[in-house]
């Protein structure tokens, strides 16, 4: 039971982090929040610690992908903002 409690904390932390990252999701925060909630509810009855760890790893992968998406979006916006002037002068 001790293992389940420590994993529960990891799952809650993952949910909170994903919820935070979902605020800037391109399709909207409400869309992201709904999908996130559905995924977590779908897996709420999983009891096997190994399966839970696998799901946590998948969630961490999604977090990294979201961070990369946001970084790329910022990069494109900055590139467009600063390099579009150079192309117009040439």
Q: Is 39 exposed, middle or buried (0-12, 13-18, 19+ CB in 10 A)?
A: middle
pLDDT, mean of residues 79-90: 66
Q: Is 38 helix (H, G, I), strand (E, B) or coil?
A: helix
**pTM for this model (two decimals):** 0.76
The pLDDT tens digits of the residues spanning 11-64 come to 999 999 999 999 988 889 999 999 999 999 999 999 999 999 999 999 999 999
* pLDDT in the model for residue 85: 57
Residue-by-residue DSSP string for 42-57: HTTT---HHHHHHHHH
Q: Which residues contact 14 (CB under 8 A, 6 or more apart)?
A: 56, 59, 60, 63
């Amino acid at each position: 039971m001790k293992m389940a409690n420590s994993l529960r904390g990891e799952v809650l932390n993952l949910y909170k982090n994903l919820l935070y990252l979902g605020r800037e999701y391109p399709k909207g925060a409400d869309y992201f929040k709904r999908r996130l909630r559905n995924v977590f509810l779908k897996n709420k009855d999983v009891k096997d610690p190994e399966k839970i760890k696998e799901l946590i790893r998948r969630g961490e992968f999604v977090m990294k992908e979201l961070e990369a998406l946001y970084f790329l979006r910022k990069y494109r916006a900055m590139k467009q903002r600063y390099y579009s002037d150079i192309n117009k002068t040439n």
